[in-house]
Amino acid sequence: MALLLGVDTGGTYTDAVLLQDESTVVASAKSLTTKHDLSIGIGGAIEAVLAQGGVDPADVAMASLSTTLATNALVEGQGGRVALIYIGFKESDLDRHGLHEALKGDPALILAGGHNHAGAEAEPLDIDELKSFLNVHKDVSAFAVASQFATRNPSHERAVMASISELTGAPVSASHQLSGKLNGPKRAMTALLNARLIGMIDGLIGSTQSTLERLNISAPLMVVRGDGALISAAIARERPIETILSGPAASIVGARWLTGADHALVSDIGGTTTDIAVLREGRPALDPMGAQVGPYRTMVEAVAMRTHGLGGDSEVHFIGTGLRGGVELGPRRVVPISLIAMDAPEEVHAALDSQVRSTVPNEYDGRFVRAVQGVNKEGLATREVALLDRLGSGVMPLARALKNRIGAQALKRLVERGAAQIAGLTPSDASHALGRVNVWDADAARKALLLMGRRRTGAGEKLAPSPEIMAQMVIDRLTQQTSLAVLETAFAEEQDDFGLPPADLARHVLMQRGLAGHRGLLRLDAGLNLPVIGLGASAASYYPAVGAQLGCETILPEHGGVANAIGAVVGRVTIRREGTVTSPSEGCFRVHFETGPKDFAECDTALSALEEHLKAQAMSDAAQSGADDIHVSANREIKSAQTEARDVFVEAVISVEASGRPRIAV
């Protein structure tokens, strides 16, 4: 009996599932994700699923991991402190292409060097300036390196990588190793985000491997990539950026396995995000522009998915404008009040009771903060370290922690670094107050809802007269925002062009009136023309109302709460490699290998040399990733121009794919 173990680590829960021979769910379990020590939550989920299945750990033949941690970190602006080495570009490029914003105050060096489109050196590399920069910024967690036309000649990136390793020993994320495509600023963004995620994903994989060893599970560990394929844990550690949208990609694979649906919208609600994709002919489409998460567009090959900062643990914001007022959810995740009250019941209830007794509402009512224990303080400013020390190991009301605006900025920075957590009102709290969920402290949730409900609208009235009405208002808002997110995805994937951005079309008055079935002089009807598959632990609570609002069928599969973990073990190992041949002059065909360019006199010879190289590389990587029965395919895209009645070779792009089933331990 071959047992497959799937694990998915999300922002709130870690899920585990056992499958027998890829055909039957044996058992599934959940455990809270413990960010201060991921091995606790991972261990809890795996131990629970083994106990529930009544199986011997030695019978587990393969383990696979998917995660939303990388996606969540980019959506919430979190990650390690990094430095960017930007070679051959201009200072203005940092602002023009969003790199300055993505750096979030982290150091960057504009360094002389780089190559031209043919792979020839454009300017010598300034190693002396590089060494001076490295001596000042040795405290960063990782370095990102991007050089102009590095995909045509990566020698300058390789030289900088060698210097960083020699002088600092820190991990290096080089753009030419992450993508073979042109567009230097976009490659730089990908390398930067990859560097920021290295520590987080390395810690996750390390925690998973140590947990498997502790439980006497000797099976190989695979990791789900953003396109739904599997890669080895070693490759995932080198290229953590490839795990963005890993969890959502696994959920689509899991949704197809659970439902057998060929055409549907798959919507997966977690604690932090809602991830939506279209299933066509049983397969998710890949995004030709590269994965986009939050504001960042990368060059990572991933499923065409729209990720929204909307989940069960999304922060509830009070909207005081207008006569009626209201609430808005997300995009930041916070710790639900009902959950943090489980960790510190006396402190949380005492503070909530005091705030309820106060006759004057405060903007910080019902909100708390705590430090994440064991965080490295290197790179933090003096004020940030002082605030972290003051928070100690307990839970503190936010009003007590923030004495001024400087304190607010320091706390914002700590949250971005993952060194502190904010707790506040969330849809999870609303569900507890309404009795839909009974896992955490519902009494604390009701007190937080009471505090939010007494905020005053523009008309001077209370936002809600009771905790229950306030809770329903939050749930209704979640339904509305989810419906808009689903509609936005549908318009984005629709073949016809409607002349407006998808977000505008989803909110258009005619669309909204059509959904409501307007009847007047005009009859307006609108709705979604395919079913919505709702995934996630809370999907059963929220998605029936979403389907009703969109006028479509809602499919809520059994085990939909662990679809990510299921998708993690039913996927295939797939490695894709791409290379380019150019012609800088007549009779010269230049192959751009990752070690540097090489010229050939014959076009066919150059194309064959590159194709064989890419096939060997893809085969080797697939085998190292644990694939068996590997099949390789290649595609040539040749561009030519016609001059004086003859075709002239311009460029060729060769793509190779190696795919096989994961190797099962015997």
Per residue in 284-323, pLDDT (tens digit) is 877 777 777 667 788 877 888 888 889 999 999 999 877 6
The rounded distance, in Å, linking the Cα atoms of 306 and 78 is: 19
- What percent of the chain lies above the pLDDT cut of 70? 98
Instruction: Please give the pLDDT value at position 77.
Output: 67
Least confident piece of the model among 158-167, 235-244, 388-397, 491-500? 235-244
| 8-state DSSP, 392 | T
Instruction: Please give the pLDDT value at position 45.
Output: 94
The beta-strand segments (E) located in 196-291 are 221-224, 230-232, 264-269, 274-280, 283-284
Average pLDDT, the chain: 89
Q: What is the mean pLDDT of residues 211-238?
A: 89
Comparing C-alpha atoms, which of 436, 432, 404 is closest to residue 336?
432
Reply yes or no on whether the pLDDT at 2 is more than 90: no
Phi, psi dihedral angles at 525 (to 5 degrees): -130, 135
Instruction: Please give the pLDDT value at position 644.
Output: 66
The rounded distance, in Å, linking the Cα atoms of 503 and 571 is: 32
In order of 545, 551, 658, 661, the CA distances from 557 in angstroms are 16, 19, 32, 26
Instruction: Please give the pLDDT value at position 293.
Output: 67
3-state secondary structure of 217: coil
In order of 193, 338, 407, the CA distances from 364 in angstroms are 32, 17, 14
Q: How many CB atoms lie within 10 A of CB 52?
A: 14
Please give the structure tokens belonging to residue 366. Answer: 């019902």
Tens of pLDDT along 350-374? 999 999 999 888 889 999 999 988 7
In order of 10, 69, 80, the CA distances from 38 in angstroms are 11, 11, 16
What residue type is assigned to position 326 of the chain?
G
Q: What is the mean pLDDT of residues 226-253?
A: 84
Comparing C-alpha atoms, which of 312, 263, 329, 285 is closest to residue 528?
263
**Mean pLDDT highest for which of 18-22, 168-172, 381-385, 438-442?**
438-442
Bridge partners (DSSP) listed for residue 369: 396, 422
Least confident piece of the model among 495-504, 618-627, 657-666? 657-666
The rounded distance, in Å, linking the Cα atoms of 501 and 630 is: 42
Kindly give the residue spans of alpha helices, DSSP state H, lying in 232-381: 233-238, 246-259, 337-343, 345-357
Instruction: Please give the pLDDT value at position 665.
Output: 63
Any idea which residue has 């079309």 for tokens? Answer: 505
Comparing C-alpha atoms, which of 250, 596, 310, 264 is closest to residue 475?
310
Any idea which residue has 């749930």 for tokens? Answer: 475
What residue type is assigned to position 90 of the chain?
K
Instruction: Please give the pLDDT value at position 441.
Output: 97
β-strands 420-424, 395-397 pairing: unpaired
Q: What is the mean pLDDT of residues 513-533?
A: 96
Tens of pLDDT along 61-102? 999 999 888 777 776 667 788 999 999 998 888 888 888 888
Please give the structure tokens belonging to residue 318. Answer: 């009070």
In order of 214, 260, 479, the CA distances from 552 in angstroms are 47, 18, 14
Instruction: Please give the pLDDT value at position 666.
Output: 58
